[in-house]
Amino acid sequence: MDAQKEKEEIIELFGVHFETHYNLPPLASRILGTLIIDSCRAGITFEELVERTGASKSSVSTSLNLLLKMEKIVYYTIPCDRKKYFKPSPLSERFSNYMKMIDFEKKIVERVIAYRNQTAECPAEQCNLKTSTAYKEHLLEIEQLMIKTIDMFKKIEADIDNNN
């Protein structure tokens, strides 16, 4: 398989993944996939994304604004150049956003556990207390793994920044 065909298939796989698991619209999903695969050396301009996707300017703009708002992408500018160059957010930042979700889930689960400790009377409520407690332990393990992974990504990103 040639490199261009492989790249197109990977972008499509990213597109399906982001659509299915992150509920992103199809165009935003493919734009994010394109940025992940093609913006390693330099960002990609709005005009290039319009050309690559074949979508209208307004559709690409809407998708980019959504991805920016969701903190999935960032942009930078170059002095004396009015264009914006888009790239995916660093993995350390994207994983930090997952940490926010885990923190929120932990708070909910802790409230459920406290509530069930006071109110559990029937076997179903006791079961709910046990599963909630087990889920809290799972979240704590995930949290520790995420912290380790974020630290690793930050080191890699710092090395890349220092070499550029």
- Tell me the β-bridge partners of 75: 86
Q: How many residues does the chain have?
A: 164
Whether 36 and 81 map to the same domain: the answer is: yes
Instruction: List Cβ<8 Å contacts ≥24 apart for 47-53.
Output: 47/83, 49/86, 53/27
pTM: 0.81
Least confident of 34-38, 40-44, 73-77: 40-44
Q: Which one of 64, 88, 112 terminates a domain?
A: 88
Q: Which strands make up the sheet holding 81-88, listed edge to edge?
A: 44-45, 81-88, 73-78
Q: Which one of 53, 88, 123 terminates a domain?
A: 88
Radius of gyration of the chain (CA): 21
Whether 106 and 81 map to the same domain: the answer is: no
CB count, 10 Å around CB of 89?
19
Residues 6+ apart with CB under 8 A from 65: none
- Tell me the β-bridge partners of 88: 73
Q: Residue 43's closest CA among 12, 104, 88?
A: 88
Whether 44 and 33 map to the same domain: the answer is: yes
Number of domains comprising the chain: 2
pLDDT range class, residue 16, cuts 50, 70, 90: very high
Whether 16 and 59 map to the same domain: the answer is: yes
Whether 101 and 83 map to the same domain: the answer is: no
- Domain ranges, residue 20: 3-88
Whether 112 and 52 map to the same domain: the answer is: no
Give residue 161's pLDDT.
76
Contact 86, 75 (CB under 8 A): yes
Q: Tell me the average pLDDT across 145-157.
A: 94
Whether 18 and 78 map to the same domain: the answer is: yes
Whether 62 and 95 map to the same domain: the answer is: no
Whether 30 and 43 map to the same domain: the answer is: yes
pLDDT range class, residue 160, cuts 50, 70, 90: confident
Whether 83 and 7 map to the same domain: the answer is: yes
Name the DSSP class of 71.
Answer: T
Whether 113 and 139 map to the same domain: the answer is: yes
Q: Which one of 38, 61, 88 terminates a domain?
A: 88
Give the C-alpha separation, 94 to 91, whole Å. Answer: 5
